[in-house]
Amino acid sequence: MITSSYLWPVAQHRDAPERLVLRDDSGTWFLWFGDGSDLVGMPEALVIWILARPETVMLGEDVMWFELSSLPVGSGNS
């Protein structure tokens, strides 16, 4: 369950750039598939593994946070 209304894009998949690893302002991690489905919550151990994968592209700290409402996600995200 997402309690924040803002998300920070941390990384994306090299071959599927619509897939994002996101973090909210409380430090919770999410995966967004970019297909209109709900965000998927992830434990930090899985995030560390994903971020270390060669197909993961880090977006950098200068990427702006955005509102959750701007993502086309399913209805079960809030």
At 62-76, the pLDDT tens digits run: 888 988 888 765 544
pTM to 2 decimal places: 0.81
- The size of the chain, in residues, is 78
Q: What gap in Å lies between CA 49 and CA 19, rounded to an integer?
A: 16
Could you tell me which of 9, 12, 3 has the C-alpha nearest to residue 65? 9
Give residue 20's pLDDT: 93
Q: What is the DSSP letter of 39?
A: P
Query: What residues does each domain of the chain span?
Result: 6-70
